Structure 1
Amino acid sequence: MAIDSLGNIWVKNAGANVISEFTSMGSVVSANGYAPSGYVAGTLSAGLAFDTSGRLWITSASSSNASGYLMALTNGVRTLGPFTDDASADSASASGLYGGNWVSISNATIWTANSNTTVSAFLPSGQPNFGGPLSVANMTSTAWVDFDASGFAWVVDFNSSAIARINQAAGNTTAYDPSTGGLSYPSGLQVDANGSVWVSNNGTPSLSQLRFSSPVIVPVSPSTGYRDPNSDANAEGAVQLDASGNAWTVDDTNHLIQWVGIATPQATPVSPTRHATRP
């Protein structure tokens, strides 16, 4: 999922070659979904993220996870890409794009977590940045990436349910023991305004909350994660945080779920300097 500047929620569909749009109240905007030219959802349809110009960046992978691509949309219409990992197709292969999963935007750079053990970076033009992919130590299948306010990258591994914090400047990684906090085949990750990391879990229908407490990553959520007692789902999909601190997830029974006020808002409401009075 991704949330745009109007608060609308955008969702990719693995079972159809369309992207759905909903209002912040959950009402449908795209009656039949958007089907941009060149977009193929595939079995492993994956990440979405908006840049500062309002373009929606998409990653996806083939059913075998052996190939991945990246493209951008404006108002539901393809404007850039698709860039693939096929060397004969375009220059994006120099970035190591492979079965791209999650996508995140940081300092005008588009980052993807690949389905091997790497993270790739792209310029707004879609061309690869930094000369190649960044390897993540002690992971087998890097899945989702997001950035905190200090510019550190957070990455989760689907297969091992591990999480890592990467200091790009120092070139080192802080890993986390996945035995606590509720991590279970993580299917999404996002960092809130207070530095808490929120992870949705595919292995169990739950949300995990973690924080960095130097020199380690510590769990905030219980060992089962936060659970929705009303859910009949077996898994939570991606997670997105809106400006008000609500967490949005999708489950495997096609529900869009709002976790009201669970995270730190991106902006604190301004205190009034004067109160109005009724005439």
Structure 2
Amino acid sequence: MHRRRAALLTALLASLAMGASYPEASGGPSSGHGTLDQRGVVRSASGPLAGAEVTLLQAGNHPGAGARPLARTRSDSRGRFSLSYRAPESPDAVLYLTADTGRPGPRGTGAARRQRPVRLVAMLGTGRRAGKVVLNERTTVAAGFAMAQFTQGGEVAGRSPGLQNAADVSHNLADIADGSAAAVLAGAPNGDQTSTLRAFNTLADVLSGCTAGQTCGPLFELAARPGAPVPKETFQAVADIARLPGNHPAELYALADGREAYRPRLVQAPDAWTLALRYVGNGHELDGPGNVAFDAEGTAWIGNNYTFNADPRQSVCGSRVLSRLTPTGRDVPGAPYRGGGLYGAGFGATVDPRGHVWIGNFGFQGTDCPLDASRLYRSVSEFTPHGRPVSPPWGWRQGDIVQPQGTVSDRDGNIWVANCGGKSVTRIPEGNPDRARNIAPGGDRLVKPFDVTIDTRKRAWVTGNGSDSVMLLSPQGTPLRSVTGGGIKRPMGIASDSLGNVWVANGGAVVAPCEGTTPAMVAEAVKDIVTRHVDASVTMVRPDGTTPVEPFVNDGLFLPWGIAVDGNDTVWVANFGGHRLANLCGARLSACPPGTRTGDPISPADTGYTSDGLERNTAVQIDPSGNVWLANNWLDVPLQTNPGGHEMVVFVGLAAPVRTPLLGPPQHL
């Protein structure tokens, strides 16, 4: 009897040290004395998972920092668990739950040792989480993709605000309260309108085979990125898939054969395992989004071509609103903003070192709009970090601005504006419009200037869409040289890397809609292009202005328009056709898959990263969480009364995070 009582006492003390099960899986009050409770359930596609080791962790606050366990317990026979923990002091601390389970290891390895290849995860995020939490395959896919750029060795760590924003984005994929697909993913404009929900569920089915103890080995081998260690558990496997989604897509799909616990699901293998979400803000503001710029918190500032109207047959005038979305795609309180001379914004959007936002007013409008655009396309607009217009009702017009497109800030706060209709660039020193100066290289050296980027030496590079050239300007704006050759043909977007190179998106058949070329002419020029145009390519220009003999070409490039460089110096290209996003190896070969050379495709060479959520895309930009944002600028069949698309499309966790605002070359967050 004494022995039995001693054993019971030992078991009780052990359960108190590790946490305890509870009769009902629901939220509860704090335990007192500065502690909080967290309850939940561990489930798989086949039912509850008993005996899982459940751990509550605080993510590390910089890359390489280990996650800190706050509490640990085991799930009971019905998969339920309860944890008590002391809340972290920092309100920005990111918390997450893991549930490790697996079958006993081989005999002779020690009774306490276990193989635990299954790790289910749910991101709690910042702040206290009230109510029950479910950990299952869906929540693990959501966590693995959203946190892909912050996960190493199965642990989560990273810098603010990217880490916190990524945790929030995970809740757009899975609802951790019940383990279902989240409302953002399951409903319009996502849901049954794109294939992302089906891909998400199919990935959950892929994981369920490992959870059942049947497919872990093949899953880990297929998920492993070339040159990287093979993942040892399911969460890291998902993160590895998210970071290189074109790696073995068909073979991974085959692991879901016969498993249909999560529906709806794909009926055939994708070209890559990407998860792309469409964001629409308040649902009646985005119409022809042209470009996006991120501020220091990672919120997205977006200029629109047209006044919102869901009917493309209804003629619209130029947009007079500036959208601002949270990292999860919702309107920031008080947004969208108005005033400051906004009208028909184009490709120009930037955030300066003070957090002020600058938008180029190109004067886009639909046919039959009664306004005279020529009186409205001669300015840029400036807003404070809180959305208050600083520029007057007619915008800042100093510096002979004409049909402005690319608009960027450098680290000193100088604003550079490409005057697509004026064969010139306007430089606004330190954001002071009274000091604005027009820079015209003269002749035909810079025709239809479209975009601007700033390199590591603070020099400005400007694409000349009509002159098949790139103009290099000194930090003070003095024209230094015109770069041609290397495949530069109808250049559109341009971006710099951290090594001093600049990257040019060659539109091929895309003629910038300025200086006599109308949007209707652009639509006519591209409407019958159904395969990659011969001149569609990307050119790298070295710091000395030289280029490779040939441009970089693959079938992921289909009417290239926008271009961006991520925190690892790999290159991303938005396409005005083909419903695809391309990713190229940049000049930093260590960031590319082994054997890949500069300019080689990282995305599938035959398709790029496709998505049926994409339409005609102009901009591509990378946020601090490594999400890749594209602007659905035009509809696939763009009626010129109102050709605008209505969404931003965000590929979750796909790129190396970038410190924002972007002020010249990218810096890894």
Same fold at TM > 0.5: yes
Kept in 2, the 8 Å contact 1:211–1:219? The answer is yes
State the 1:238 CA deviation.
0.8
Kept in 1, the 8 Å contact 2:539–2:547? The answer is no
Kept in 2, the 8 Å contact 1:72–1:79? The answer is no
State the 1:198 CA deviation.
0.2
What is the TM-score with the length of structure 1 in the denominator? 0.75
Counterpart of 1:200?
Answer: 574
Cα distance in 1 for partners of 2:454, 2:321 equals 19
In structure 2, do the counterparts of structure 1 residues 137 and 211 end up closer, same or farther at CA, with 3 Å as the change threshold? same
State the 1:75 CA deviation.
11
Counterpart of 1:183?
Answer: 557
Kept in 2, the 8 Å contact 1:245–1:263? The answer is yes
Equivalent position to 1:30, from 311, 317, 337:
337
Counterpart of 2:411?
Answer: 52
Counterpart of 2:536?
Answer: 161
State the 1:122 CA deviation.
2.8
Q: Which amino acid aligns with 1:141?
A: R
State the 1:59 CA deviation.
1.8
Q: Which amino acid aligns with 1:259?
A: F
Counterpart of 2:460?
Answer: 110
Classify the secondary structure of the residue corresponding to 2:573.
Answer: strand
Equivalent position to 2:625, from 244, 247, 254:
244
What is the TM-score with the length of structure 2 in the denominator? 0.34
Counterpart of 1:217?
Answer: 599
2:647 corresponds to 1:266: no
In structure 2, do the counterparts of structure 1 residues 133 and 248 end up closer, same or farther at CA, with 3 Å as the change threshold? same
Equivalent position to 1:227, from 591, 610, 618:
610
Kept in 2, the 8 Å contact 1:176–1:216? The answer is no
Kept in 2, the 8 Å contact 1:165–1:175? The answer is no
Kept in 1, the 8 Å contact 2:613–2:649? The answer is no
Counterpart of 1:273?
Answer: none
In structure 2, do the counterparts of structure 1 residues 5 and 163 end up closer, same or farther at CA, with 3 Å as the change threshold? same
Query: Which protein has the bigger helix share?
Result: 2
In structure 2, do the counterparts of structure 1 residues 23 and 230 end up closer, same or farther at CA, with 3 Å as the change threshold? closer
Q: Which amino acid aligns with 1:48?
A: T
Equivalent position to 2:424, from 63, 66, 69:
69
Equivalent position to 1:120, from 468, 471, 476:
471
Kept in 2, the 8 Å contact 1:204–1:236? The answer is no
Cα distance in 2 for partners of 1:56, 1:23 equals 23
Cα distance in 2 for partners of 1:60, 1:138 equals 23
Deviations 1:240-274 (A, max 9, x none): 112222222211213223322211013677xxxxx
Kept in 1, the 8 Å contact 2:574–2:580? The answer is yes
* Percent of matched pairs sharing the same residue: 21
State the 1:199 CA deviation.
0.2
State the 1:174 CA deviation.
5.4
Name the larger-Rg structure: 2
Counterpart of 2:449?
Answer: 100
Q: Which 5+ residue runs of structure 1 have no aligned equivalent?
A: 86-91, 270-279
Q: Which amino acid aligns with 2:461?
A: W
Deviations 1:108-127 (A, max 9, x none): 222211112221123444x2
Cα distance in 2 for partners of 1:133, 1:170 equals 8
2:518 corresponds to 1:143: no
Equivalent position to 2:438, from 59, 72, 83:
83
Q: Which 5+ residue runs of structure 2 have no aligned equivalent?
A: 1-290, 307-317, 343-380, 382-393, 509-534, 590-595, 635-644, 660-667
Q: Which amino acid aligns with 1:117?
A: D
Name which of structure 1's ranges 182-191 and 92-101 shifts more when overlaid on structure 2.
92-101
State the 1:219 CA deviation.
0.6
In structure 2, do the counterparts of structure 1 residues 242 and 201 end up closer, same or farther at CA, with 3 Å as the change threshold? same
Count how many residue pairs are aligned between Structure 1 and Structure 2: 252
Classify the secondary structure of the residue corresponding to 2:447.
Answer: coil
Counterpart of 2:354?
Answer: none
In structure 2, do the counterparts of structure 1 residues 93 and 244 end up closer, same or farther at CA, with 3 Å as the change threshold? farther
Cα distance in 2 for partners of 1:248, 1:37 equals 28
Deviations 1:90-118 (A, max 9, x none): xx448933211121111222221111222
Kept in 1, the 8 Å contact 2:585–2:597? The answer is no
Cα distance in 1 for partners of 2:471, 2:657 equals 28
